[in-house]
Structure 1
Amino acid sequence: MSNSRILSAEEELQLDVWLTIKQINLNNRTRRNLCDVANVAKLFKELDYKLVEAHNYFSHSSLSLKLQNWETFNLLVLRKMGMTLSRQALEDLATGHLGAIKSLLYQLMCAERNGIRLRAGSRTCLTGTGTGIGTGTDVEMPDESIPIHTKVVHSCDPQSFLDAKYEELMRESNQMDNYISSITDRIKHLESVKLIKEDRINCLIENLALLSVRTLTMQILCRNPKWKQKQLQKLQQKLDIRLKKKQLKRQQKKLHKKQLKETMALK
Structure 2
Amino acid sequence: MHREFSDAVPVANLLKKLYPKLIDIHNYPPRNNTQLKLNNWETLNFKALGKIGLPQSKAMLQKLAAGTPGAIESLLHEIKLHDRSSKKSDRCDEQEQVWSENDDIMMVNVNKKVGDAIVQVPQKMILFSIYEHTLRDSQTKESYLNAANQKIAHLESILKLKGERIDELCAQLAKVSVRSLIKQHNLENSSPNSALNFGNIENDTNNKSTEYL
Q: TM-score range by the shorter chain?
A: 0.3 to 0.5
More strand by share: 2
What TM-score, normalized by structure 1, do the two folds share?
A: 0.37
Pair member with larger Rg: 1
Structure with greater contact order relative to length (CA < 8 Å, sep ≥ 6): 1
What TM-score, normalized by structure 2, do the two folds share?
A: 0.45
